[in-house]
Amino acid sequence: MHNIDIELVEMTLDVMKYVINRITKTSPELGQPKKEEELKALVGETITSEGIGGEKAFQLFRDVLVKATVPIDHPRHLAFVPASPTRAAIMFDLVTSASSIHGAYWMEGAGGIFCENEAMHWLVSITGMPKGSFGVFTSGGTAANLSALVAARGQWRQNKENNNKKGIIIASIGAHSSVKAMANVMDAEILLVPSEERMNRTDLEAIYANLPEDQKQRIFAVVATAGTTNAGIIDDLEGVATFCEKENLWFHVDAAYGGGALLADSVRHLFKGIEKANSITIDPHKWLFSPYDCGAVLYKNPEIAKAAHSQEGSYLEIFKDEGAHGFNPSDYQIQLTRRLRGLPLWFSLAMHGVDKYKWAVERGITLANKAGELITTNTHVELVREPSLSCVIFRRIGWTPDDYRNWTYENHRKGFALVTPTKWKKGTDFETVARFCFINPDTTDDDIVAILETMK
């Protein structure tokens, strides 16, 4: 055997051993960040003219660098929005890479895009959007929100009078930071409904009634959130839909985090009205157990998205030729060259079936309710609001913001848990409080009990 081949075999064995080991560990070591200088001192030069060799590079990653990362799927990682990709999805992520498929055009990617589209048909079906609705997988919720809002603005600018006007998006202060950031990217203004509680039709009518006519003309979209990142609150989607219909505005639903809960019979009724959306964002890398990164944008009328996103170029014409007819994912979102990032979701869904997914999502909701009960029965903590979806916001009675911060760092330093504080409105001010977000079905009641114990 040629030397290169031996090295390849060894590297493959090393990689497979690492991967199998990692994905069978239900409680991986909770790593700590280190300063860049410290990491540099530990690993030395890694990019050299001769190369340091695969074995060495892999050893540095495995023994040093990965330990300076936080495994997002740790069962006691309840900060931000954690993740918990299935083993099937992770393994198929490797297959996706190995298959080297260009995911922009059907001509090159047909078989792979077919799989993504199977998963997309299913996603559309759980929203209840009408026939003809369809979408594509994106790098995440941010890219999905941007793609949807660019389509919305394109539609608004079909009226030539709007061509030189700066558009306005209405959202609530509970909307994710990416909505505000993407408005900025688009050079659009954003009008915020001043509440982090459930946004409804009355809120929108109140803000709208006070606007001068020229501003009303500039509004091109309303963004409702189906599962706010901070508290899991689902806006009154039916009410927002009615408002948008009446004022002829694009209705976008950001369900990046909450979208997975469309599968949960226990909370599905809260999403009533989502089927009326012009566009929806769902992140399979949050609550649909896909590895990073995988978002999705769904459109009621994909043709509008195509008009806004389809790229032209003399070297691209062949892809749109008669002989290459098929679905081109690049036509419906901001990216041209793209990974087939819906493939791991497709494989995992095909392998496990939808019922397993329903169970795993319900499990997150059950854990949040259980945490709610435990917080109610313990005297040192109290709920700030009832758990919503898989988010729980609660207070450690008597704690200052510093106490919360020290508690977070201490649990992290001990490698025990990652739980971070957040802020919640109190009167006209904001209070620092604690927050849990459950995604991983392997988290146990004992994990919750043990974390609450660290707050005594």
Ligand X SMILES: *Cc1c(COP(=O)(O)O)cnc(C)c1O
Which CB, 167 or 295, lies closer to ligand X? 295
User: Residue 150 CB, nearest distance to ligand X (Å)?
Assistant: 15
Task: Please report the DSSP string for 335-396 in residue order.
Answer: -SS---TTHHHHHHHHHH-HHHHHHHHHHHHHHHHHHHHHHHH-SSEEESS--BTTEEEEEE
Residue nearest to ligand X (CB): 141
Q: Residue numbers of the site for ligand X (CB under 6 A)? A: 81, 140-142, 145, 176, 178, 225, 229, 254, 256-257, 283, 295
CA distances from 192 to 23, 180, 183, 254, 282 (A): 42, 10, 12, 15, 22
For residue 430, report the phi and psi dihedrals to the nearest 5 degrees: -120, 140
In angstroms, what is the minimal distance from the CB of 341 to ligand X? 11
Q: State which residue, 175 or 433, has the beta carbon closest to ligand X.
A: 175
**What is the H or E stretch that residue 58 is in?**
helix 54-60
Q: In this complex, which beta carbon is closest to ligand X, that of residue 345 or of residue 455? A: 345
**Closest to ligand X by CB, 176 or 370:** 176
Helix 354-377 to helix 445-453 angle (10° resolution) is 30
* Phi then psi dihedrals of residue 194, to 5 deg: -80, 50
Select 62 or 423, whichever has its Cβ closest to ligand X. 423
Residue 229 Cβ vs ligand X, minimum distance, rounded to whole Å: 4
Question: What backbone phi and psi angles, to 5 degrees, belong to 223?
Answer: -105, 115
Smallest gap from Cβ 261 to ligand X, in A, equals: 12
Least separation in angstroms between residue 145's CB and ligand X is 6
Closest to ligand X by CB, 100 or 177: 177
Contacts from 243-248 at CB under 8 Å and sequence distance 24+?
A: 243/201, 243/204, 243/205, 243/208, 244/278, 245/276, 247/208, 247/216, 247/219
Q: Give the nearest distance from C-beta 138 to ligand X in angstroms.
A: 8
User: Least distance in Å: CB of 81 to ligand X?
Assistant: 6
Cβ proximity to ligand X: between 229 and 443 the closer is: 229
Q: In the bound complex, what is the minimum distance in angstroms from residue 446's beta carbon to ligand X?
A: 28
Distance CA 384, CA 380 (A): 13
CB of 247 to ligand X, least distance (A): 23
Q: Please enumerate in sequence order all residues whose Cβ is within 8 A of that of 167, keeping only pairs 6 or more positions apart, or say none.
A: 153, 156, 186, 188, 189, 218, 219, 220, 221
Nearest to 88 by CA among 10, 19, 139, 140: 19
- By beta-carbon proximity to ligand X, the closer residue of 60 and 181 is 181
CA 397 to CA 399: how far, in whole Å? Answer: 6
**CA distance readout (Å), 367 to 25, 53, 72, 375, 439:** 21, 45, 17, 12, 9
- Toward ligand X, which CB reaches closer, 179 or 204? 179
